[in-house]
Amino acid sequence: MYDWLIVGAGFAGSVLAERLANERGDRVLLVDRRPHIGGNAYDRYDDAGILIHQYGPHIFHTNSKAIFDYLSGFTAWRFYEHRVLGRVDGKLVPIPINLDTVNTLYGLSLTPEEFEGWLAARAEPVGEIRTSEDVVVSKVGRELYEKFFRGYTRKQWGVDPSELDKSVTARVPTRTNRDDRYFTDEFQFMPAQGYTRMFETMLRSPNIHVMLQTDYRDVKDVVPHRRTIYTGPIDEYFGFRFGKLPYRSLRFRHETLDQERYQPVGTVNYPMSEDYTRISEYKHLTGQVHPKTSITFEYPSAEGDPYYPIPRPENAELFKKYERLALATPDVWFVGRLATYRYYNMDQVVGQALATFRRISDALPAGADT
């Protein structure tokens, strides 16, 4: 008899498995239908021996010392600040848009103060900022919006930014200084030996049994367990009874090149015409030294594994219906990006899982079942 059946060995499922097993001594069966742990953060050495991220580039960043300290129990870190360039009008310019982006793109030499005025003269007043279009045009105006955001967002999400919640493009700020880091969080690091190694350490406990290539449906009625933590898509758990929740997918094209470097920074975005949104080169992220280099192209698609919940009002409504069912389902906790339909970064999922652990501890004192 397991105390817990945990579905999904990504951040949500693995953090909870670790906490329940090590803090409470609970017996945990952790299943994943994929052949590996780590969920979308899974990394592996490719045929050339280069550490790549199977599901696209994952950069850890957080402002939470508690989350950083928690994960530090399972890995050493490599300091890494991500930088992104955009290929726009034949030039490579910094993203997020900053002073250098505009000076390079238009051949100007504006100072930060002049740039503020330049932006103010182009920004379009928007009454209530609701959509992903509003966020950008109200800050930088329509021309930069079209160059940097409109095409990229239509590719990535399959809808126009005017049909997406403001939270999507609000992830990418505008800066009037020359700071060219993609993130400004206090803690920005990569796990020194990779994500998969960190997950292996997290799950190393006699109380945790991991079963891969195992679908929840195949074990739920066979393996005796008291309670469940589910981190897969919430609509699937309930047999899609209210209809499918839309998730956006990606196809990844991994390539190894017979050259030491491919591009000057970790990621180059292609916001204008290509079919792919971005190309990432892992050696920037990992610091690995190798005569070859491996890169990944991301091609957005409607079909395939669910990667991104799509933040739009009608999807939020549909999710709420499933959430009401979830709240009325005893002994099952729904956690993570797919089960709570939230466009969360890794650190937010870890935070959500740790908060769930605290709620479980309050509701079920350790040893209550024995």
Q: Where on the chain is the footprint of ligand UDP (CB under 6 A)?
A: 86, 95, 148-149, 152-153, 156, 168-169, 171-172, 269, 271
CB of 168 to ligand UDP, least distance (A): 5
When CB distances are held under 5 to 8 angstroms depending on the partner's kind, the choice from ligand FAD, ligand UDP, none that residue 149 binds is ligand UDP
Contact 336, 13 (CB under 8 A): yes
**DSSP state string for 57-109:** ---EEES-HHHHHHHHTT--EEE---BEEEEETTEEEEES--HHHHHHHHT--
- Contacts to ligand FAD by CB under 6 A: 7-13, 31-34, 39-41, 55-59, 215-216, 231-232, 250, 307, 336-338, 344-347, 349
Phi-psi region of 226 (alpha: psi -120 to 50; beta: other; left: phi over 0): alpha
329 by Cβ neighbours in 10 Å (0-12 / 13-18 / 19+) ranks as middle
Q: Which is nearer to ligand UDP, 227 or 248 (CB)?
A: 248
CB of 210 to ligand FAD, least distance (A): 11
CB of 219 to ligand UDP, least distance (A): 31
Q: Which is nearer to ligand UDP, 214 or 352 (CB)?
A: 352
Contact 350, 231 (CB under 8 A): no
CB of 209 to ligand UDP, least distance (A): 32
Nearest to 189 by CA among 61, 38, 70, 72: 61
Q: Which is nearer to ligand FAD, 218 or 369 (CB)?
A: 218
Q: Which is nearer to ligand UDP, 225 or 337 (CB)?
A: 337
CB of 189 to ligand UDP, least distance (A): 17
When CB distances are held under 5 to 8 angstroms depending on the partner's kind, the choice from ligand FAD, ligand UDP, none that residue 266 binds is none
For ligand FAD, the nearest residue by Cβ is: 39
Half-sphere exposure of 60 (CA within 13 A, CB side): 29
Alpha carbons 174 and 61: distance in angstroms, whole number:
19
20: its two tokens: 């329940």
When CB distances are held under 5 to 8 angstroms depending on the partner's kind, the choice from ligand UDP, ligand FAD, none that residue 86 binds is ligand UDP
Q: Which is nearer to ligand FAD, 55 or 189 (CB)?
A: 55
CB of 299 to ligand FAD, least distance (A): 11
When CB distances are held under 5 to 8 angstroms depending on the partner's kind, the choice from ligand FAD, ligand UDP, none that residue 7 binds is ligand FAD
